[in-house]
Structure 1
Amino acid sequence: MFVPAEHDPRTLGPATGGERALLVDFLAAQRATLELKCAGLETRLSQRSVAPSTLSLLGLVRHLADVERRWFRQVLAGRDASPRFSSPSEPDGDFTGAVPDPDVVSRAWEAWREEVAFAEAFVADAPHLDVEGHDSWRGTVSLRWVLIHMIEEYARHNGHADLLRERIDGAIGV
């Protein structure tokens, strides 16, 4: 365990109640898991899994900042907001640009926190889970679908983070 069970913020949310509260809590727990898996590794976050992969914890933070940005800021809010770390000419920039530089690490966390804050505010202000946006990949999507998709996205990448963290310093836990 990265934190003692009695101090784990991921277990304090509701286990009953409305759909929105449960979805928001599950997503918050997945976001907290990413932070826990990266805690204390500032200088080692860019360490790659195994060659030739570019997968790293820092790459995951950058990737998830772009994913948050895409679904909440672009698709649901309808804003013109290009990805922060990838581009058509550098589609894997979120991972390839994850280098061991304190400024790169700082900017990644700052971007991720800004996108999470935007997403949290958007969800809190949404009148219902059936708010819709248009995505070039999926077509029309609801806020409900995006929340479920984000939980799945984080859960998948937190599995990667488990393995990356264990490879870096041997730490394991939930």
Structure 2
Amino acid sequence: MWLDPADDPRESASDHAGDGQPGVDGVAGGIADGERRALLDGLRHFRLTIEMKCAGLDAEQLARRSVPPSTMSLLGLLRHMAEDERHVRRMAGVASPRIYRTATDRDADWNGAVADPAVVDEAWRRWRAEWELTDAFVAAHPDLGAVTGEAPLRDILVAQIGEYARHSGHADLLRERIDGRVGQ
């Protein structure tokens, strides 16, 4: 296993059901509270999975491409997920210009993932900052069913969890190719 299950940060998600604290709908452990918690815990789980798959690698390892002609790398994945975090807010109707992608390079998140410590530091910083902005946006919108842009916030969060789940599988394969670590 990657690490001892007792040390897995994904397993320490807060579970307040039944703790007597009022939920999002004003009722402790209410339906809306449970739905919000489930969506945010799922999102948190996959963010931490990506983080775990990238942990402990240097710039060269993070930038290492999967297999030609693919430009996929763990570093590119961090940059791509920063774009995806911003896309959550864009789908919800918030003006959020792209970070890396341009009209001339639609894959700049992947293409610009080069083995440079400054690029790595910026990717980590940007990804974490974008997920914090997403979390703040979700916290400011208690009604997950409200349509604020293209779809209800609930649907946008489900799509984001799916995007993370998909890329967690990619990260698993990329990490295995780098140093043989698999699973978890």
TM-score (norm 1): 0.90
| Residue correspondence of structure 1 range 91-110 to structure 2 within 5 A | 91-110=106-125
What do you get for the CA RMSD once the two structures are aligned? 1.5
Unaligned stretches of 5+ residues in structure 2: 18-28
Matched positions, count: 167
Partner of 1:137: none
Shift of 1:77: 5.0
Please say if 1:19 is aligned against 2:29: no
Shift of 1:15: 9.7
Partner of 1:32: 48
Q: Kindly provide the amino acid, as one letter, of the partner of residue 58 in structure 2.
A: E
Partner of 2:6: 6
Unaligned stretches of 5+ residues in structure 1: 135-139
C-alpha contact 1:2 1:36 (8 A) present in aligned 2: no
Please say if 1:123 is aligned against 2:141: no
Shift of 1:170: 0.5
Encode CA deviations 1:3-34: one digit per residue, 9 max, x unaligned.
21011121223396510001100100000000
Encode CA deviations 1:91-129: one digit per residue, 9 max, x unaligned.
000101100001111111111011000011111121210
* Distance across 2 between alignment mates of 1:71 and 1:87: 18
Match 1:85 to one of 100, 104, 122: 100
| Residue correspondence of structure 1 range 45-84 to structure 2 within 5 A | 45-72=62-89, 74-76=90-92, 78-79=94-95, 81-84=96-99
* Distance across 2 between alignment mates of 1:171 and 1:15: 33
* Distance across 1 between alignment mates of 2:129 and 2:11: 24
C-alpha contact 2:88 2:157 (8 A) present in aligned 1: no
Q: Kindly provide the amino acid, as one letter, of the partner of residue 9 in structure 1.
A: P
C-alpha contact 1:34 1:158 (8 A) present in aligned 2: yes
- Deviation larger for 9-18 or 111-120: 9-18
Shift of 1:64: 0.6
C-alpha contact 1:15 1:22 (8 A) present in aligned 2: no
